[in-house]
Chain A
Amino acid sequence: MEAQRFTVTALGKNRIDILNRITSLYLQKNIPVESFVLSQSEDGDSKYQICANTSQEAIERIVSQMNNIIDIKSVQYSAIA
C-alpha cells in the first residue's frame, strides 16, 4: 500500500502512561513518528496529535488499537494532502 502522511488525534485523560502507550504502537509497527504534540485542554483532558508517514491500512490498525487504550476517549485520523 502507498505511504501517505497521516495525523492521528486522540483525546483522553491526562494520564502518564498514555503517551508511551501511543508511541509504542508506532514503534511496534516500525513506523517513524514525524511529530508528536501533546497539549492540555481547559477541561483537564489531554490532546495527543501524532503525524507519521505510513499506509492507510497501518493507520487504521493503529487507530483501532488506540481506541482500546484505557482513558482515551476518542480517536480520529486524517490524511494530509
Chain B
Amino acid sequence: MEQNMVRGTKALLLSLMEEGVDTIFGYPGGTIMPLYDELYNYTDKINHILVRHEQGAVHAAEGYARTTGKVGVCMATAGPGATNFVTGIADAMMDSTPIICITAQVNADKLGTNFFQEADMISITLPITKWSYQITKASEIPEVMAKAFYIAQNGKPGPVVISIAKNAQVEMIDFKYDKKELVKDIEIRRTLAENCEIEQAAKLINEAKRPLVIAGHGVAIANAEERLREFCEKGNLPVAATLMGVSVMNSFHPNYIGAVGMHGNIAPNRMTQEADVIVAVGMRFSDRVTGETRGYAPKAKVIHIEIDQSEINKNIKAHLPLRGDAAEILESLMEKIEYVERKEWFDLANELILEEDKRIFNPKLNSTEEVLMGQVVAKITDLTGGNAIIVTDVGQNQMFSARYSKFVQHKSFVTSGGLGTMGFGLPAAVGTKVGNPDRQVIAILGDGGFQMNMQELGTIMQSGIDIKIVLLNNSFLGMVRQWQELFFNKRYAFTHLDNPDFQKVAQAYNIPSGKISRTSDIEAEVKKMLESEGAYFLEVEVKEEENVFPMIPAGATLDEMIYENPNK
C-alpha cells in the first residue's frame, strides 16, 4: 500500500476536513504554534476566525453549531488558552451543543512536571465534557478525531475536548481516514421506543381532553421541527416551547401557545397545571421550567420523548417514557394519532393569551414613557418579519427577547439556557453569522453581559462580521436588581453599573452606531440598523428599573405566578 506520510498537524487538519469542517474559531499561542503554522497552508479551505478571548471562540463555535446543525470547532493553546475555554465548554455541556475544543498540551514526556503553560485540561473539564482525550502520539490522531466527531453529534450531543501534546503535532504518521472503520467499535447505545409503547402513547393522546405538547431544544437537535408541526396539526394539539425550544415552532402557528417556565407565558404555564396529558419532546424538565416539582402538572400523565436515558424520571416522573430520537418517535406516533376537536381547551388557550395581552403586553408596548426592552424587541421582530436569528445574552434582555420576538424559521433563537452564561451573546452571534452568512443575525445584550465579552468587537471588526448589536442599557445588572427589588427589600447591593460611553466604544472599533433614548426613536433607529450594511451597534437607553413579568419565583409552583411586585 502506498504510504501517505504527513506531520501530526497536517493529519489533524486533514481529519477535520474529512469531517467537513471549513470554519475554526481560535486563538494561537506557543504550544499550538505548529498547528497554526500548518493551518496557514489551508487558508483556502479553512476559514479561521481569530477571536479576542478563548471564551469567545467556544461561544462562537456554539452559535455556529446550534444554528447549522454542524459541529463547531474551536482551538486554543495550552495552559491559560485552554482554561479560558472552560466556561464555554460547561455552557455547551448544559445545552447539549456539539463542539470540538482542540487545546494544545506540553510534550508528552513533560506531562505532570508543571512545565511552562501546562494545565491538565482533561481533568479540569472531566465533568463538563461528553468525552475527552489527550493525544500523546501522532498515530492516534485519525482514530481520535473520528471518534470525537462521532461522539459530539450522536445520541445527545455535547462538547468534546481534544488535548494534543506538542510532540504529537510534529511527529510523522502514515495518514488514512476511513471514518466507518475508525468508529466501528464505539457504542452509543441507541434505543427506540417499542411499538407497543407508541400505541399506548397514541391512545393516551387520543383520549386526552386537555393535552399539551412541550417542545424543547431536543426538537431542534433532532431536526424534528417539521415532524412536530405535522404531529400537532394531525392530533390538534396545543404546543408550548421551553426557553431553549423557542423557534422550534413558527410563533404564528395557530397551535403554538408560547413558552413555559419562570418567565414564560401565562397560557402554557397555567395549562400545564390543567393538562391531563403532557407530551414532553426533547426537553428535560429543568427547574426553570417546572418551578417546585411537587406542584408541577398535578393532573397530567407525562409522556416523555427523550434520547438521554438519564433524563427520564430525573425531575418529573414519566408515566410513559419514549426513548429515542424525537424525529423518529414523532413520525411513528403520527401514524396512530387522530384529530380531536377539543374546543374548550383551545378556547382556554386563547382566553389566556388575551389575558396576557391585556395584562402585560399591551400596557408595556403602548407605554410612551421611558423605553422598555420589549418595545425594541417587538419592533425588531416586526421589521424583520420574524425572519432574523436572535442571539441573546443572559438576564432581562434574554427574557424580553424570548417574550417579545417571533419566529417563522427554525433554529433562530440562540441563548444560554442551562448555564445562563453572561457574555455568551456577542461571541455566539459571531459564530451564528459565520454559519449563516445569508441571514440577518441580531445580538440582543444587556450592558453587564456585553462588557463580559466586549473584546469580541475586535473580531467583528477584523473579520467583517455583519451582525447587528442591540445593547439594552439599563445601567444595572437588571435581572439581579429585579430579584433584589422583589425579594431583598430593594437593597441594590452592587448591581448598579457606571458604564463607559458605549458610542465611543463602537467608534473605536469602526462600527457605525445609533442610539435610542425615547420611544419615538425606536422605529427609525431600528430601521436604520436593519438597513445598514455590515456590523452596526444600537444602544438603547431603557428604563432602569423595569421588571420581567409574569414570574414564577424560585421555589414556587406554577400556580404561584406573580404579575407585579408583591410588596407594592
Contacts and interface: CB of A to CB of B under 8 A. Distances in A.
Contacts of B122: 17
B126 A70 contact: no
Interface residues of B, number: 18
A70 B130 contact: yes
Interface residues of A, number: 13
Interface string A44-81: 00000000000000000100110110110100000000
Contact of B127 (A28, A61, A64, A73): A28
Contact of A21 (B126, B133, B156, B189): B126
B524 interface: no
A64 B309 contact: yes
A65 B158 CA distance: 14
A67 B310 contact: yes
B146 to A, nearest CB: 13
A65 B308 CA distance: 10
Nearest to A66: B310
Given A70-B186, A73-B187, A20 B308 contact: no
Nearest to A13: B185
Contacts of A40: none
A70 to B, nearest CB: 5
A68 B310 contact: yes
Main secondary structure of the interface of B (DSSP, over half): mixed
Interface string B164-200: 0000000000000000000000111100000000000
A17 B310 contact: no
Contacts of A64: 309-310, 314
Contacts of A71: 186-187
B151 interface: yes
A70 B131 contact: yes
B265 interface: no
A39 interface: no
A73 B151 CA distance: 15
A24 B126 contact: yes
Contacts of B127: 24, 28
A-B residue pairs, 8 tightest by C-beta: A64-B310, A70-B131, A24-B127, A24-B126, A65-B310, A68-B310, A20-B126, A70-B151
29 contacts: A17-B122, A17-B132, A17-B133, A20-B126, A21-B126, A24-B126, A24-B127, A28-B127, A61-B310, A61-B314, A64-B309, A64-B310, A64-B314, A65-B310, A67-B189, A67-B309, A67-B310, A68-B156, A68-B308, A68-B309, A68-B310, A70-B130, A70-B131, A70-B151, A70-B186, A70-B188, A71-B186, A71-B187, A73-B187
Interface of B: 122-123, 126-127, 130-133, 151, 156, 186-189, 308-310, 314
